[in-house]
Amino acid sequence: MIKSNYLHDAVDKLFMPTTTNGFWDEENKRIGESLYCDENFNWEYHHENKKRYGLFAISFLLLAEELNSLNLIKFKDKIVDFNKKIMFELDKLDQIDLTYGALLSVILAYKLDYIRIDESKYEDILIKTLESIPKLYDNQLFLCLIASKYFLMIKKSLQVEELVKKISLNLINSYTKNAFFNTGDPRGIYHQRRMYILWSLVICSTLFYKDEIDRIVQHCLKYSLQKCRDGKDSAFLWHPFIYLSKYQSLSHIPIFNYKSSKYLFECHQTFFCNAALLHQKFIGTHDFSQDIKDSMNWIFGENRIGKNLVEITKILIPQRIMTTDGELFVEGEKFKGSYEVGSYILALSFLVGK
């Protein structure tokens, strides 16, 4: 059984001040990007101008409330403040910020009665964003489909609906036997760029192509379980050490990337679990319960080093990374991103008490 304190501690961490090893940037009324650590797990917050990690975190926090009734009442004022800030800055945000959480957060905050919005303005921004995504060759941007689905629950829009339908069909047609979406994204085979699309398609499956999406999700999750682990435990590899990449309209070229192919990110455990849990909720035709349990328990000690990755950090959220050799500190990866906490919270919101 997943302990409820893991969930409560993670939510608290997002709203704890940065001065006390939390992510809440009180001066700027937002969830910040990252906490950085040394090899003794001494942590500190660095102010950064990047926004997308915090946007992802707040959007998934609200998604956990929408789907699983996560109680966020004690953080209402901060949720309102952050979303008002997003609304004020919306016209200045780029596509990665809009798709990685800004649009979804504001739309869910409106749906959940935290704020009020001008529906027509958001419809226009959403349409422009959806139209631009296929031209940018980054599969992470398809997260915008989730925002589109919830917008359509608020306001009928034939243009948004048609764009979601068109993009969903293009994604379905781009799916390969090697379980990734060959859209022209040179990193399309990376774990998160497959799981993000699965989340998006599953949540939109109530609108279009339910049977096709069901087939793809089941195949991709089974492929990931069978082919995307190195066999020592239940951890998912970031990507293969050699793979074929297609950028835009160019021919496929082989990419050799050995060092980072050994990276096991904690968030990838929750990315897989969220894909399976969302599939279970929206489609429900297959039971990945044991695989979900194994994947989450990897975080809590059933891993190759036998350590609970929450306990060792000393700040009540999991260690970010482990290599296939069991090393916990990797140059350039000595931090914890708030987006990782957002995905962790969504998975826990499905699982606590089960």
160-204 tens-digit pLDDT: 999 999 999 999 999 999 999 999 999 999 999 999 999 999 999
pLDDT of res. 244:
74
- Helices 158-174 and 144-154: angle between axes, nearest 10 degrees: 150
In the chain, the N- to C-terminal Cα span, in Å, equals: 5
Delimit the domains of the chain by residue range. Answer: 4-351
Architecture of the domain defined by 4-351:
Alpha/alpha barrel (1.50)
Q: What single string gives the DSSP state of each residue in 153-182?
A: HHS--HHHHHHHHHHHHHHHHHB-TTSSB-
The pLDDT-based confidence of 59 (bands split at 50, 70, 90) is very high
Per-residue pLDDT at 298 exceeds 90: yes
Stretch 145-152: mean pLDDT: 98
| CA dist., res. 273 & res. 296, Å (int) | 8
Backbone angles phi, psi at 301, to 5 degrees: 125, -15
Percent of the chain, pLDDT > 70? 97
* Alpha-carbon dihedral 195, 263, 352, 179, rounded to 10 degrees: 20
Residue-wise pLDDT tens digits, 241-279? 887 776 666 667 777 889 999 999 999 999 999 999 999
The pLDDT-based confidence of 2 (bands split at 50, 70, 90) is confident
Partnered with residue 37 across adjacent β-strands are 43
